[in-house]
């Protein structure tokens, strides 16, 4: 099973310009995910969810949208037609944007699997740490779950970015602790709860996912902002992890997508 997570930047569109969305659709088609976790699905709820239905048609997948009423940056889970949805939860009360959590039955696999698309707050370490607390249940010993998305934060094992001073102070403060170094509290909390960072498990030096080269003015320095966090049962089945890093991806969004394969046999 292939799982992909992608922050598509403002719905994949720049006003009426859909070139980024078309590139994203081709990127996703080439990656062939069975599950796609999307962040910044802006506008997908408008006009009777017209863009959501358009995405379903373009991707050949069924979509479930969690509306973020305060920011408009919705999250979504898309699944292959072979998967049977069992339940869906949208949480905008405990998340700055929203959490989309879909539980599905996969043919040939006995236990239901929960896939969640997260987009943690960009505003402060304290807000992100509070949000991650609402993910801890997905790390339970019997949980079968994968959370993917944009954490706006560094992992405990990732290197310190070379120069936070390249950002203006009002942006830099969003990512730093009181000691002036990268705040890692959200991902530290997640790993202490038992969620497993698949990038760190499967790759000794996971590549940065922001900023893409086509967006030099994005409010980032290079670091890994996008993650798969798996329950222990799912982490044991993870076989590969990669950042999709090609020229097309660098111009389709300010985030590079990530892809993992899970062995369900």
pLDDT, greater one: 201 or 216: 201
Q: Is 127 left (phi over 0), alpha (psi -120 to 50) or beta?
A: alpha
Band (222; pLDDT cuts 50, 70, 90): very high
Q: Assess contact for 36 and 59: CB atoms under 8 A.
A: yes
Write the pLDDT tens digit of every residue in 12-23.
Answer: 999 999 999 999
Average pLDDT over residues 248-255: 98
Write the pLDDT tens digit of every residue in 224-233.
Answer: 999 999 999 9
Write the pLDDT tens digit of every residue in 147-189.
Answer: 999 999 999 999 999 889 989 999 999 999 989 899 999 999 9
Least confident of 38-47, 108-117, 157-166, 189-198: 157-166
Find residue 122's DSSP bridge partners: none
Q: Where are the domains of the chain?
A: 2-262
129: Cα within 13 Å, side-chain hemisphere: 13
Band (129; pLDDT cuts 50, 70, 90): very high
For domain 2-262, the CATH class is: alpha beta
Question: Which residue's entry shows tokens 């030099």?
Answer: 216
CA of residue 57 relative to chain centroid, distance: 21
Measured distance CA(130)–CA(251) in Å, rounded: 32
Measured distance CA(116)–CA(102) in Å, rounded: 6
């Amino acid at each position: 099973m292939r799982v992909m997570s992608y922050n598509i930047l403002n719905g994949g569109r720049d006003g009426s310009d859909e070139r980024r969305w078309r590139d994203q659709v081709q990127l996703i088609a080439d990656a062939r995910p069975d599950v796609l976790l999307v962040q910044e699905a802006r506008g997908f709820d408008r006009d009777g969810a017209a863009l959501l239905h358009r995405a379903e048609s373009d991707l050949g997948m069924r979509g479930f949208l969690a509306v973020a009423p305060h920011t408009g940056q919705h999250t979504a889970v898309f699944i292959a037609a072979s998967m049977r949805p069992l339940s869906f939860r949208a949480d905008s009360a405990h998340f700055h944007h929203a959490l989309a959590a879909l539980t599905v039955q996969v043919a040939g696999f006995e236990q239901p699997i929960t896939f969640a698309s997260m987009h943690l707050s960009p505003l402060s370490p304290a807000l992100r740490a509070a949000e991650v607390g609402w993910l801890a249940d997905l790390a339970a010993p019997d949980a079968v779950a994968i959370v993917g998305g944009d954490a706006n934060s560094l992992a405990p094992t990732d290197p310190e970015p070379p120069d936070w001073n390249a950002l203006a102070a009002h942006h830099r403060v969003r990512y730093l602790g009181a000691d002036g170094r990268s705040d890692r509290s959200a991902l530290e909390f997640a790993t202490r709860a038992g969620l497993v960072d698949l990038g760190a498990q499967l790759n000794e030096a996971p590549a940065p996912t922001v900023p893409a080269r086509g967006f030099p003015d994005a409010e980032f320095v290079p670091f890994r902002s996008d993650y798969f966090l798996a329950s222990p049962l799912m982490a044991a089945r993870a076989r590969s992890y990669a950042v999709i890093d090609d020229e097309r991806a660098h111009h389709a969004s300010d985030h590079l997508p990530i892809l993992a394969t899970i062995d369900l046999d």
